[in-house]
Structure 1
């Protein structure tokens, strides 16, 4: 039905209801016996009310609303429109009465007219909604999938509404599960609360449930893990509403209901970001992001784009990844001025040229060689890229007076046993040294592994599971700190806002996770049983690896910041002369350095980088 035809039909129905309300108001006022002398007043009232109400309803937009989705907002619109229409009708009839010397509209009749109009117009709209819903549910079969929602709070209600708004194509909500005793046997949106998590198996069997949606976005990892284990025994499909840290600011997006992932079992608390503080140093600035096509760099780019930078310059060595993130950002935030630069950070001349051309205000340096075993086999490349590349960027930033320079570091920089970790520790010292003589605020942000990044264990495990196994783990006692990519990016940006210069910020990584437990969780989430369907094979610790990573040296210690998840390491003494000698040698002989020479060079600035590492590398 066209909008014009629909509007005419609604106006015709409203005209009938207006006249009914006008007659009813006089009928009730005079208790069923309207005096003859008031009939003329009634006729004038009905005529004026019909014209004025229809005009007001049209102006208030009551004819271009979808009333099958009517709510309190639409009801308030009706009340406002009826009030204006009633006031206009009373004024017109009063003036007409003075001119034509007819009886005035009784005050009681005017009040009854207002009440009757609210009741009739409001009632007609909500009756229309009820009829539409009933007709819809009778004629649209939707999916026959039976859905159980775990969590009878706001998120659970949103999930149930979303299923309904999707025409039940993705399933029909049969009931809720909630541990709150006060909610048991109650109904939400006409859907019953069927028990607590202990009753999931019973409810699944009793109601032939096909799918369970976990709608508990603030639940701990332990709670999610327990529910996942219960549901796995029931053999139902399992989905989850993501945690609120997946979105930097705003409410839960129910369109993001998805399969349960390993990240959900970690139980990381949502990140709190001071939006005003971040916007204060990013908005309107030219922001450089190196390694913008990588896992961390691309996520920092996404987050920064939300704060309206003046220019967002995406630097990277890989043309395809830079192209992908540029296209994504242009689609999501088309108003921002994006610039892409394909550049090797080891190219000092090109880096200097780019900095002088755009004169950035903020730099996020995420470009690095960070694969531990590969850098053990190519140590000279780790030196050139991580140390010299960072020095090129930092010195160029100093020349053009960049306000804030944030370098991404790693927990492998603490008491390093790998070449990669040692180069990142050297980078920390390098920017701390430069901060002492520069107007630019140079800081580093140190954190552990991020789930899902290229080269991390999760993508590797997924590929191994897809092939039927085995899943390879280096050691049964290997543990690592983990955080999600969005979480890490948000905290890095927040740390930049807190920078005073020279700090090494350390992100709260929570509890360390056993890699073998991570492998088992991922196997189960893929629908298999560890060591039954998919074998786990231990391969031994690789060169440069440690059983556990640290976030601090014994000498550093930490001080807290105003953010509960960000700390500052106390600075160590830096041997500036040896540091400068190291960078000079790398620039002069970098590509020709042998593995043993690389180790000896790093030991000049990091005495804790022990000789046994050199033996491990040489034997490898």
Structure 2
């Protein structure tokens, strides 16, 4: 039926309804007059003719032939009732003219039979098609968490699909437990996992409102621990914005952190930036642009966007211009590089900058490993030039965005960031009027080049998902947490501080890959049996990568701050003479295009730096 042309399906439905009318009229007269009624009433021909023609007109008029069987609802039943009422009226008039006895009983009985026949044949057809679908298609059994409007509509849609079959609702509302919606039972979530396994349900789809984020996360975590596929239905707003992308969405970065979101909302942040002029270097990058967005809520007088990429600066300016329409925060966009001292001094003087958040850096490990001199020019010399310009301009606070890869680094990128930290600490010793501080991040989920967008793109492409080593693990935080940590560091800075966020335990990259595959509604392919959808491919460590990242050199060096989740690290520093010598050697390495010399400088000046690769385990 579903593969037939539309006009054929409508003709079948129309023939069914006309047949029901004739059958109803026949049954009525047999019931009231006995089996010999045609001989007793010569005018019976006219009754059949009127019912057939007028019935056909009413079926067409009320569009009963257009009712989709699997979508039969109360509105459709009402239309069937209206059509039958009109046909009953025509039958009553004709019966009155022909002098048919028991006219009222005749009409009412006919109406009952015809209405029941039209609705009943449709219901039987739906049931038959459902059973045929079960035999023709092996459908995946799913449960829906949330028996509200969204959940009910989702179950209704899934019931008609050839891929999934809803068999249970789970809902927190105790008044709904034990009820059935469209023949699907509503169960208590108290024993959710046990019920899922007992009923052999292979997937759970969450249809809760966006306001129930905490409940969504709890359910997702519970299902992932039990190795049950779970997906979240896109919100109505997501669908309007075309973020639903015709499928169920995967969870956002907070859902794969493996820990609770850190609350970094403190009054110190807004107080430290309100009414000030804040310059953000690398303002077009993932961290820089998020810093600017969060700064708006602190109500600074002006945010100066400093960026060397014209396109990134344009996009950041466009985004912030919309966000500042309703507030008095001025946005000033300036092109330039942190390696250009004249440009930096010009911008700071013209815009009267008071606070600098330094997020400009080359951060992608493999790229910097192959372009080490440019990495050093930007990350090391750029930081020195910017710090000196800040001191000359009388800047109040200077916050360097660093990375956990700076701790005992195995990459040139990590070494350049550690040397940048040492430079900032050295400048602090001769600049009492400027408070310098550094912030070390773990991996920022959702930032450019992070595993989250990479894995999602690979999953969408059908795989494989590439992981460099099965034992590789990392600390993770979200972009919003990273940006907030920078702002808090500015508020807590006392001079030369290194701040880190307590991010819980590090997570294995391969486990995150598996989790994302499951949350996308697919299965990890078993390398032995070949069962599953998405393969996880081990590619081997890339140049400069190491298996484990650290946030601090010595755990005993950690001190508390006013925030329980933010720690201050007290670490060894280089002397002014050592820093000056290191800078000269880096400059020589760049001027002579000598990457080996740069690596030698890193080996001598960065504690724990070693560039040899860790072999991949079998």
Same fold flag (TM > 0.5): yes
Q: Structure 2 CA distance, aligned partners of 1:140 and 1:449? A: 55
Cα distance change on mapping 1:582 and 1:176 into 2, 3 Å: same
Q: Structure 2 CA distance, aligned partners of 1:368 and 1:424? A: 9
Cα distance change on mapping 1:463 and 1:435 into 2, 3 Å: same
Which residue of structure 1 lines up, in the alignment, with residue 207 of structure 2? 212
Which residue of structure 2 lines up, in the alignment, with residue 281 of structure 1? 272
Which residue of structure 2 lines up, in the alignment, with residue 554 of structure 1? 554
Q: Structure 1 CA distance, aligned partners of 2:189 and 2:515? A: 26
Which residue of structure 2 lines up, in the alignment, with residue 332 of structure 1? 323
1:174-573 paired onto structure 2 within 5 Å? 177-178=171-172, 185=177, 194-196=188-190, 197-198=192-193, 201=196, 212-213=207-208, 216-218=212-214, 224-227=220-223, 233=229, 238-239=232-233, 259-261=250-252, 263-334=254-325, 335=327, 336-438=329-431, 439-531=433-525, 532-554=532-554, 557-573=557-573
Cα distance change on mapping 1:148 and 1:534 into 2, 3 Å: closer
User: Over aligned residue pairs, what C-alpha RMSD do you find?
Assistant: 3.8
Per-residue deviation, 1:539: 1.4
Aligned 8 A contact 2:206 2:216 in 1: no
Which residue of structure 2 lines up, in the alignment, with residue 26 of structure 1? none
Q: Deviations over 1:341-364 (max 9, x none)?
A: 111111121112111211212111
SS at match of 1:341: strand
Which residue of structure 2 lines up, in the alignment, with residue 124 of structure 1? none
SS at match of 1:217: helix
Q: Structure 2 CA distance, aligned partners of 1:513 and 1:361? A: 38
Q: Structure 1 CA distance, aligned partners of 2:370 and 2:547? A: 20
Cα distance change on mapping 1:437 and 1:224 into 2, 3 Å: same
Cα distance change on mapping 1:561 and 1:342 into 2, 3 Å: same
Cα distance change on mapping 1:200 and 1:407 into 2, 3 Å: farther
Runs of 4+ in 1 over 4 A off after TM superposition: 137-141, 146-150, 160-164, 168-171, 182-187, 202-206, 208-211, 219-223, 228-233
Q: Structure 2 CA distance, aligned partners of 1:296 and 1:424? A: 16
Per-residue deviation, 1:605: 1.9
Q: Structure 2 CA distance, aligned partners of 1:307 and 1:283? A: 5
The number of residue pairs the alignment matches comes to 441
Per-residue deviation, 1:501: 1.2
Per-residue deviation, 1:223: 5.1
Aligned 8 A contact 2:290 2:483 in 1: yes
Q: Structure 1 CA distance, aligned partners of 2:358 and 2:549? A: 22
Which residue of structure 2 lines up, in the alignment, with residue 88 of structure 1? none
Cα distance change on mapping 1:170 and 1:319 into 2, 3 Å: farther
Question: Where do 5+ consecutive residues of structure 1 fail to align?
Answer: 1-136, 151-155, 242-256
Question: Where do 5+ consecutive residues of structure 2 fail to align?
Answer: 1-72, 78-141, 160-167, 180-184, 236-247, 526-531
Per-residue deviation, 1:264: 0.5
Q: Deviations over 1:388-426 (max 9, x none)?
A: 111111111111211111111111110111111111111
TM-score (norm 2): 0.64
Pick the structure with greater CA Rg: 2
SS at match of 1:562: coil
Aligned 8 A contact 1:291 1:315 in 2: yes
Cα distance change on mapping 1:209 and 1:572 into 2, 3 Å: closer
TM-score (norm 1): 0.64
